[in-house]
Structure 1
């Protein structure tokens, strides 16, 4: 069992996600949607680095140290319907993290996530 009582099923994070994948694959086969992709990652906030110099053997070397990792969102599905990009998430539970990432997707990438 994974978090929030969802059960991994046939390679998907939940039965809900598996069923949605099967529906979307059928719609793609029928030509209703196109370019179906799964687990597409979007960077929302890039990694933050501290830049500094150290004395090397012959010259000053520029180095960087990671101080904050990047924040990203992984969409369950991405496809086109009638020429429009659809980014979809199979949500059972809307966590605080997810809600913030959903808002960042709209702000940073101009993409409104469709929840099913």
Structure 2
């Protein structure tokens, strides 16, 4: 049933276009996407991607929720820094959610060669 208004995003964020043909969950994320596109054009970063998915494994076994879904981390962006060749995942955080510290710790343990950046 539609009441003529858009559903509100969690924490009051507004869906925003970044100017590169993508819609983002927040204005902060859209602004960062625009900045990253400029950095890519300048040659400072390469291979910019939106919302890559990383599944968690411990001792070679996938982590599975009680409902059968795989535990996953989906950062806002992934790119390679040209200066050192390092792979970076980045999350635009306006509000820190309760599970973020645990999710970040799991990601760092499962993917130690990838840098995590909060913007």
Same-fold call, TM > 0.5? Answer: yes
CA distance in 2 between partners of 1:33 and 1:24 (Å): 8
SS at match of 2:16: coil
> SS of 1:18's equivalent?
helix
Aligned to 1:18: 30
| Runs of 4+ displaced beyond 4 Å | none
User: Matches of 2:94 and 2:43 in 1, distance apart?
Assistant: 28
Provide structure 1 residue ranges, at least 5 long, that are not aligned to the other structure: 49-65
Is 1:102 aligned to 2:109, yes or no?
Answer: no
Which structure exhibits the higher relative contact order, with contacts defined as CA atoms closer than 8 Å and separated by 6 or more residues? 1
The equivalent position to 1:27 in structure 2, one of 39, 42, 49, is: 39
Bigger radius of gyration, 1 or 2? 1
Does structure 2 conserve the Cα–Cα contact (< 8 Å) formed by 1:102 and 1:112?
no
Higher strand share: 1
TM-aligned CA distance change 1:27 to 1:96, over 3 Å: same
